[in-house]
Amino acid sequence: MEYDIIVVGGGHAGCEASLASSRLGNKTLLITGNIKNIADMPCNPSVGGPAKGILVREIDALGGEMGINTDKSHIQLKMLNTKKGPAVRALRAQADKITYPKEMLKTLKSTKNLEIKEAIVDDLIVKDNKIKGIVLETGEKISCKIVILTTGTYLKADVLVGSERKPSGPHGEKPAKNLSDNLRKLGLTIQRLKTGTPPRIAKDSIDFDVLAREDGDNVLRTFSYDIDPLYKLEDQVPCFLTYTNEKTHEIINNNLKKSSMYGGYVTGIGPRYCPSIEDKVVKFADKERHQLFLEPESIYYDDIYLQGFSTSMPYDIQEEMVHSLKGLEHAKILKYAYAIEYDAIDPLEMKASLENKKIENLFTAGQINGTSGYEEAAAQGLIAGINASLKLQDKEPLILKRNEAYIGVLIDDLVTKGTKEPYRMLTSRAEYRLLLRHDNADIRLREFGYKIGLIDEERYLKFKNKLKAIEELTNYFKNNKLTTKENNLIEKLDTSPILDGITYYDLLKRPNITIEKLENILNLDLNYSNDVKEQVEISIKYEGYIKKALKEADKLKQLESIKIPNDFDYNEVSNIASEARQKFELIKPVTLGQASRISGVNPSDIAVLSVYLKRIKHE
């Protein structure tokens, strides 16, 4: 029995990879340690948020599943950063930890070409540095053309609580004990990472009356561009806020040595943006309190996720810590917090297509590549699934640029800068975030999705119609104007009087003038969807800024257009600093642009390299 593509791991990366692969017509096998844990959310019960929410939209635009699946399963939805500009707005959902995996499994099971198998993978079959298949723990061999590894935190996973360490994946699941050692034998560099998760509290043991409440938005929205909202506003479930206090900090400080982290029991490197509460208290000693969120995990059971309180203290100390919190004085801990250590590969060893540089036809996606987060994992899974398929079709891989998608930023960062800590997507990582908005992900990426074959004709036609409507409405605003005779209307619009005629287009550039206001006061009959209006309004209002961003992006394109040959010998360039030379040799940047983004490389190294590349071109 031979498969085209085998996906190892059924988390968020694995699901997207399997779906993309099978939907593109490849005979696909998804191998997971436990079918019950497919699309599981072992950490926080949420999808989206700043930057991450935009990743989800991009996944949807390309034809991935995460957006739709979240729409099917969330219990609260919010638009964040509404008081800020359009570039940083993002959706965040509280996903139901029961419904989300259930819906995903349903989709997987109903997808053609896709089989699911429960097993642990021990080794890869590699011949002449090329994938031939996999070996299961049982010794069974399955051959295939391409393997996509999406093993999450399961590679040699150890769960840590206080001084205790035991080999285990999340939820006490079996870890993959042998695969990472075998990957190392195949020549891959393995690094050890760490992450953690906070305690879960019994809902009825919390005194919610004394806590601040956070509700969902009063507007129906969806992550996906293709479906209508499936939830009712009134069904949304609230979250709550609490804070640490002096007493909490005292308990932590008095027991620091008992935590896995500070007791010296941890070897993996944890993320800066996801620090344990011990870290926060130690590193920010002057802060009187730290904010914590109480998030419901599901409407089907009672666990409340205590976001912000991840720790590796022993159980008894965790009890003390939790009980020191306002509203949680009598809280019952259902699951204790723990830290988890796991093996990951060095992402510098992969190409921007997510294919490994050392082993042909081996793709990796998600936490195994050193990232953190469901959204980051799903985005890579989708790209790995797409590029594995393209590889089988002998086509060029899909490599999104930094000015095209957060996905492009994510992958470029991984393969160019590598990561020493679990990598999280942040808006601040994107230089062109004004171009990479949550509202225009379809405009940026749907064409790719269609060409690849993940967006069907119906969805594509809908998208094309949207583009047409945007153009029409923009032209309408350009071609219609107010004359000086209509200064009474201008007055009503509450904007400064005009001396000459002014087009609606230019009017919309003024602060305080929105399409909605124009519609109301000028009695316009604009038969367009809110999506279209939003798109037009943003591109008019922020035209200046958008032009600036495009100009910046052009500079990038220039650097990206200078290609570095794959066999380029950096020893030929005598005056590059040795650190830069080592990095260049390891990373093998494809363009001068990529070379310039490598950390530890100075502008002068790039200057030297650029001179050399020019010389080569002339010769």
Chain residues binding another protein by CB under 8 A are: 43-44, 50-51, 80-81, 84-85, 87-88, 198, 214, 241, 243, 271-275, 280, 283-284, 287, 289-291, 293, 307-308, 310, 426-429, 431, 434, 510-511, 542, 545, 548-549, 574-575, 577, 599, 602-605, 607-608, 611
b/e map 53-80, b = 16+ CB within 10 Å: bbbbbbbbbbbbbbbbbbbbbbbbbbbb
By beta-carbon proximity to another protein, the closer residue of 97 and 391 is 97
How many CB atoms sit inside 10 A of residue 10's CB? 30
Distance CA 427, CA 405 (A): 11
- CA neighbor of 176 nearest in space, from 134, 146, 234: 134
How many CB atoms sit inside 10 A of residue 367's CB? 30
Distance CA 505, CA 154 (A): 55
242 strand-pairing partners = 292
By beta-carbon proximity to another protein, the closer residue of 60 and 605 is 605
Distance CA 559, CA 485 (A): 52
By beta-carbon proximity to another protein, the closer residue of 526 and 608 is 608
Distance CA 566, CA 585 (A): 10
| Min CB(464)–another protein separation in Å | 30
| Min CB(101)–another protein separation in Å | 20
Assigned token pair, 345: 């590969």
By beta-carbon proximity to another protein, the closer residue of 12 and 72 is 12
Q: Indicate the residue type of 115.
A: E
How many CB atoms sit inside 10 A of residue 464's CB? 13
By beta-carbon proximity to another protein, the closer residue of 409 and 452 is 409
Distance CA 167, CA 158 (A): 4
402 strand-pairing partners = none
| Min CB(258)–another protein separation in Å | 21
By beta-carbon proximity to another protein, the closer residue of 46 and 369 is 46
| Min CB(525)–another protein separation in Å | 29
By beta-carbon proximity to another protein, the closer residue of 288 and 316 is 288
| Min CB(161)–another protein separation in Å | 18
Helix extents (H) in 1-156: 12-23, 52-62, 66-73, 99-109
By beta-carbon proximity to another protein, the closer residue of 9 and 373 is 373
| Min CB(608)–another protein separation in Å | 5
Distance CA 271, CA 373 (A): 11
For 264, half-sphere exposure in the C-beta direction (CA atoms, 13 angstrom radius) is: 0
- Sign of the alpha-carbon torsion through 242, 243, 244, 247: negative
| Min CB(80)–another protein separation in Å | 5
Distance CA 45, CA 93 (A): 8
Contact of 598 with 417, CB cutoff 8 Å: yes
| Min CB(415)–another protein separation in Å | 15
| Min CB(157)–another protein separation in Å | 19
| Min CB(420)–another protein separation in Å | 12
By beta-carbon proximity to another protein, the closer residue of 246 and 472 is 246
| Min CB(281)–another protein separation in Å | 9
| Min CB(214)–another protein separation in Å | 8
By beta-carbon proximity to another protein, the closer residue of 510 and 563 is 510
Distance CA 547, CA 545 (A): 5
By beta-carbon proximity to another protein, the closer residue of 198 and 366 is 198
Distance CA 51, CA 431 (A): 12
- Please state, in angstroms and as integers, the Cα–Cα distance from residue 111 to each residue in 8, 25, 48, 223, following that order: 17, 10, 25, 21
Q: Indicate the residue type of 395.
A: K
By beta-carbon proximity to another protein, the closer residue of 50 and 67 is 50
Contact of 315 with 161, CB cutoff 8 Å: yes
What spatial distance separates the first Cα and last Cα of the chain, rounded to whole Å? Answer: 52
